[in-house]
Amino acid sequence: MKLYYFPGSCALAPHIVLEWLGAEFEPVRIVKGDPEYLKVNPLGVVPAIEQGGKLYTQADAILHWLAASNPDANLAGDGTPDSEYEINNWMAFLTGDLHPAFFPFFNPQRYTVEPDGIDDAKDAGQALVAKYFDHLEKHLDGREFIAGNRRSIVDAYAIPMLRWGRLLTRPLKEYPNLSAYLERWEQNDGVRRAMKEQGLIK
């Protein structure tokens, strides 16, 4: 199994899950825009996992696939409609709302045709991130995990997003619950192994 990633990206989420699972895999670091990688994944984005001649893409789908392939690890719902709903609800929020809100911050040139519109695009993205961070901040009040009462693929996915929060003009430390949550997870063995393999910590 190969996991394609670039450091600190949303590919950190499946990387963390693979560490939690104790899976055997090869992390493959790619450079954005590398034409060789476009031959693997024509969309040019990470994460992607190659296994058995098949390419798995889309973080949400990959994370659900990993959880479903390893049911004993209990990383998704417990099979009841409500627990599946809760996992899917938070995955949709993180992958469909929060992650895209960062797009104009990281790639503002894709969101404006005005040469002097870059800062505006970045600011607009940050305003949207703040809205979603406020929502998650309230949700995490008194909670250890985002979905249910045990760790799940949702927590793995939240970790890279919250790390990006440290780069914002209104940085993560202004959200006490989010900061404490991330700091807790950054002490987790599997999370540390994944961050180390991506060169994010020593």
Ligand X SMILES: N[C@@H](CCC(=O)N[C@@H](CS)C(=O)NCC(=O)O)C(=O)O
If the CB atoms of residues 60 and 137 are measured against ligand X, the closer one turns out to be: 60
Answer yes or no whether residue 121 interacts with ligand X by CB under 6 A.
no
Instruction: Tell me how far, at minimum, the Cβ of 80 lies from ligand X, in Å.
Output: 26
Instruction: Tell me how far, at minimum, the Cβ of 163 lies from ligand X, in Å.
Output: 11
If the CB atoms of residues 124 and 177 are measured against ligand X, the closer one turns out to be: 124
**For residue 29, what are the β-bridge partners?**
5
* Candidate segments 45-53, 82-90, 169-177, 188-196, binder of ligand X by CB under 6 A: 45-53
Answer yes or no whether residue 32 interacts with ligand X by CB under 6 A.
yes
What is residue 197's three-state secondary structure?
Answer: helix
If the CB atoms of residues 47 and 108 are measured against ligand X, the closer one turns out to be: 47
Q: Which residues from 127-186 bind ligand X, rule CB under 6 A? A: none
Where does the chain show beta strands of DSSP type E? 2-5, 26-29, 48-51, 54-57
Alpha-carbon separation of residue 45 from 33, 117, 172, 191 (angstroms): 9, 25, 25, 22
If one counts every other C-beta atom within 10 angstroms of the C-beta of residue 176, the result is 12
Task: Give the binding-site size for ligand X (rule: CB under 6 A).
Answer: 11
In the list 46, 101, 140, 159, the residue contacting ligand X (rule: CB under 6 A) is 46
In the list 15, 67, 95, 101, the residue contacting ligand X (rule: CB under 6 A) is 95
Instruction: Tell me how far, at minimum, the Cβ of 60 lies from ligand X, in Å.
Output: 6
The residue with its CB nearest to ligand X is 45
Answer yes or no whether residue 9 interacts with ligand X by CB under 6 A.
yes
The DSSP secondary structure of 104-154, one letter per residue, reads HHH-GGGS-SSTT-HHHHHHHHHHHHHHHHHHHHHHTTT-SSSSTTS--HH
If the CB atoms of residues 95 and 126 are measured against ligand X, the closer one turns out to be: 95
Q: Report residue 111 as tokens.
A: 């969101």
**For residue 5, what are the β-bridge partners?**
29
What is residue 26's three-state secondary structure?
Answer: strand
Interface residues with ligand X (CB under 6 A)?
A: 9-10, 32, 44-47, 58-60, 95
